[in-house]
Structure 1
């Protein structure tokens, strides 16, 4: 430790908006990443699901477990400032979130592979999803190799006119509605959200978002589509409408239940960084994983 620490000065409390920049700084110091406004989006929807450790005038750690609906929550944002690691603060924050969620709701998380047995045997996360999250990262040098045109399909920014249809499309994939989460996501600063639409009947065929993060690279989340060609078309339009993604690099959270999701990342030229097991306390949530190419966020949502 690089500083003298008085444990009595450290308190655990609920997140307030001014904490977010400090949390993102801690994440960056630990080589972790999240969208610049993703925390605010999910904290608006479930303000009781976010806790921080606070020492005098400084946020030194955080953990979150926002509810996606009354039946499912997802734990993430787990971080402790390097100067305060090894003091048991992470476990205290984790327990605080578990107390908030209770025992009746199904809780998920992305597990550190070396800690799977600990989560299963000591924390109650005994159900392992057969589908893992695969993190890809790097420069999208292959963007011009993606599908750029499909007969009968056009891509446009998500606006108020089509938002409700996009929410309905999302619910068909995740099997629950997340109206507020998506409306806030589509309107986050320093981000872009686009949808693929069929000309014949004006129905949604896919949608995706890019957002600036706490590091230079841009995060893709989500990317949902009916086919791999539509996913490529969306990604091409997103990348060329949000140039910092091409300039600074892209982070992509594939779900290996959709083999084409990893193929898209590889076609872009992204590098496979890690594979993350997904654990739940009660059951694997139902979803149409065949249409999930990149999940919304690995911190706060199962899909």
Structure 2
């Protein structure tokens, strides 16, 4: 498959759920309402890369205002990695956020690549997980 068959466009709201599913398959933990909130903030903030109408790459590049944008959900399907599709959708996303201060919640293994695009490490996140005990509270705002 040549890169000439690769097309990038804005995702529809329904397609954004695909990005969330892919993120979960990568072992990431997107929030339950992230997609809806990001879409509300910027309906054009999600890009999809397609080959013959099949989604193979996604990235979110949400503009919050005329000064700040946030990049995330940068995923290429496993079988298409290393073929140049990722950098194409990355560049399209960076073009969309050109001139803005850009935040990114990056994957540790990709930090050197982020530096090549001008990103600087601001801080590290450390996530902890455990198993609680007792009964689950019965409240409509608690999602188990």
TM-based fold match above 0.5: yes
Distance in 1 (CA, whole Å) between partners of 2:53 and 2:31 is 24
Distance in 1 (CA, whole Å) between partners of 2:7 and 2:80 is 13
Q: What TM-score does the superposition give when structure 2 sets the normalisation length?
A: 0.80
Coordinate RMSD, CA, aligned? 2.6
Larger Rg, first or second structure (1 or 2):
1
Q: 1:59 aligns with which of 41, 55, 59?
A: 55
- Which residue in 2 is equivalent to 1:39? 35
Instruction: Establish whether residue 19 from structure 1 lines up as the match of residue 15 from structure 2.
Output: yes
Q: Contact between 1:23 and 1:59, CA under 8 Å: does it hold in 2? A: no
Shift of 1:46: 1.1
- Which residue in 2 is equivalent to 1:83? 79
Distance in 2 (CA, whole Å) between partners of 1:143 and 1:133 is 28
Q: Counterparts of 1:144-293 in structure 2 under 5 Å?
A: 240-241=138-139, 242=141, 244-245=143-144
Total equivalences in the alignment = 143
The answer to which structure, 1 or 2, has the higher relative contact order (CA under 8 A, 6+ apart) is 1
Name whichever structure is richer in strand by fraction. Answer: 1
Distance in 2 (CA, whole Å) between partners of 1:134 and 1:142 is 23
Q: Contact between 1:19 and 1:59, CA under 8 Å: does it hold in 2? A: no
Runs (5+) with no aligned partner, structure 2:
none
Shift of 1:98: 0.9
Q: What TM-score does the superposition give when structure 1 sets the normalisation length?
A: 0.42
Q: 1:115 aligns with which of 107, 110, 119?
A: 110
Runs (5+) with no aligned partner, structure 1:
145-235, 246-303
